[in-house]
C-alpha cells in the first residue's frame, strides 16, 4: 500500500472546479513530483490531503489512515510547507521555530541549527526583516524540524536563488536517505526532472498521467527536424505525428510511431539534412498540457 493514496478525490469550490476524480499513490521513500500550470489544482490536492479543506467526494489515506477522520494523527508525522508562508513579524526566527516545535515531541535544537546552517538562515533575525526567500527558508526548516515521515512541499523553490535551490535539493536527498517520503509540487519542469523518481501531471483539475521520470524522458517520442527545399509545402501526414511546426525550409515533427516506417518515409524525400533527437521534457509536457 502506498504511503499516500488518493481515490477519485474531488474538491469543488462554489464557483470553481478545484480537482476532479484525482487518483494516484505515492510509495514509501520516493520523491514524488506534482506538476501542472498555475491553477491546475496542485494546492487544492495538497490542502485536501492535509484536511484544511474537505473533499467533495472520493477519499484518500496517508499512512493508511483516513485524511478526514484521522487527520490529527497523520499531521504529527507530516512536514508541510505551504505555497505562501505567513508569520507574526515581530518574532525572532529562533523563537518562532521553537514555538512551533512545541507540538512535536522530538524537537532537537541541534537539528534546527543544522538545517539553518545548510540553508544559510540566520536564526537571530526578526521575521519582519527577512526577504521572501528567507521566509521560505523558515518555512522549510519548520516543515523538516520534527523529522517527519512524509514531507509535503507546495512550490518550495519559489523565492530561492539557484545556489540555494541546489542546497535545498541536497537537503531533500538527505531526508530521503533518512527514510522520508517527499511529495512536492511545482510548475517548473527542470527542478522536477532533477529531483523526482516519479511525477504526476495535473491539468485543469484532472490527473493526466503518472510516470517515472525515466520513462518520461526515455519514451519513444522523437523530435524529427527535416531540412529540404519546400519543407513548408510538405503535405505528407505521417502516422504517429503528434505535432508539426514549419519554419521556412525546416519541418519539425514530434513523432511517436514506428521508427522504421519513419526512416523509410524520410528516405524517399530529397533531404538536405535530418535531425532525430529526444524531445526535451518541456516539449513532452507541452504535449500533455495541450492535448
Per CB under 6 A, contacts with ligand ADP among 44-83 are: 44
Between CA 28 and CA 213, with CA 22 as vertex, the angle to 5 degrees is 50
User: Nearest approach, Cβ of 158 to ligand ADP (angstroms)?
Assistant: 11
d(CA 62, CA 220): 34
Q: Which of 40, 49, 115, 145 binds ligand ADP (CB under 6 A)?
A: 40
Q: Does 18 bind ligand ADP (CB under 6 A)?
A: yes
Question: Judged by CB under 6 A, which stretch of 21-29, 33-41, 67-75, 227-235 contacts ligand ADP?
Answer: 33-41
Residue-wise over 75-106: b if at least 16 C-beta within 10 A, else e?
Answer: bebbbbbbbebebeeeeebbebbeebbeeeee
Q: Which of 38, 106, 131, 267 binds ligand ADP (CB under 6 A)?
A: 38
d(CA 201, CA 36): 6
d(CA 141, CA 123): 11
Q: Which of 16, 122, 219, 272 binds ligand ADP (CB under 6 A)?
A: 16
Q: Does 33 bind ligand ADP (CB under 6 A)?
A: no
User: Nearest approach, Cβ of 48 to ligand ADP (angstroms)?
Assistant: 9
Helix (H, G, I), strand (E, B) or coil at 51: coil
**Is the distance from CB of 224 to CB of 275 less than 8 angstroms?**
yes
**Residue with Cβ nearer ligand ADP (206 or 225):** 206
Chain residues binding ligand ADP by CB under 6 A are: 13, 16-18, 36, 38-44
Amino acid at each position: 500500500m502506498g504511503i499516500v493514496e488518493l481515490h477519485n478525490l474531488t474538491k469543488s469550490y462554489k464557483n470553481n472546479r478545484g480537482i476532479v476524480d484525482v487518483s494516484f499513490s505515492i510509495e514509501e521513500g520516493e520523491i514524488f513530483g506534482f506538476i501542472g500550470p498555475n491553477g491546475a489544482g496542485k494546492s487544492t490536492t495538497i490542502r485536501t490531503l492535509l484536511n484544511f479543506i474537505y473533499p467533495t467526494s472520493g477519499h484518500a489515506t496517508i499512512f493508511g489512515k483516513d485524511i478526514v477522520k484521522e487527520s490529527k494523527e497523520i499531521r504529527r508525522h507530516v512536514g508541510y510547507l505551504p505555497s505562501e508562508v505567513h508569520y507574526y513579524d515581530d518574532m525572532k526566527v529562533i523563537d518562532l521555530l521553537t514555538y512551533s516545535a512545541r507540538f512535536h515531541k522530538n524537537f532537537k535544537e541541534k537539528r534546527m541549527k543544522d538545517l539553518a546552517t545548510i540553508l544559510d538562515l540566520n536564526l537571530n533575525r526578526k521575521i519582519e526583516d527577512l526577504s521572501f526567500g528567507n521566509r521560505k527558508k523558515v518555512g522549510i526548516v519548520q516543515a523538516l524540524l520534527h523529522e517527519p515521515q512524509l514531507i509535503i512541499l507546495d512550490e518550495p523553490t519559489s523565492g530561492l536563488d539557484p545556489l540555494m535551490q541546489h542546497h535545498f535539493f541536497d537537503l531533500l536527498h538527505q531526508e530521503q536517505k533518512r527514510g522520508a517520503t517527499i511529495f512536492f509540487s511545482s510548475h517548473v519542469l527542470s527542478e522536477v526532472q532533477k529531483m523526482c523518481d516519479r511525477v504526476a501531471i495535473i491539468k485543469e483539475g484532472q490527473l493526466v498521467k503518472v510516470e517515472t521520470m525515466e520513462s518520461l524522458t526515455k519514451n519513444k517520442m522523437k523530435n524529427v527536424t527535416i531540412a529540404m527545399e519546400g519543407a513548408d509545402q510538405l503535405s505528407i501526414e505521417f502516422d504517429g505525428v503528434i505535432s508539426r511546426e514549419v519554419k521556412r525550409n525546416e519541418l519539425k515533427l514530434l513523432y511517436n510511431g514506428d521508427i522504421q516506417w519513419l526512416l523509410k518515409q524520410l528516405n524517399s524525400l530529397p533531404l538536405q539534412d535530418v535531425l532525430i533527437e529526444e524531445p526535451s521534457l518541456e516539449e513532452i509536457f507541452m504535449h500533455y498540457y495541450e492535448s
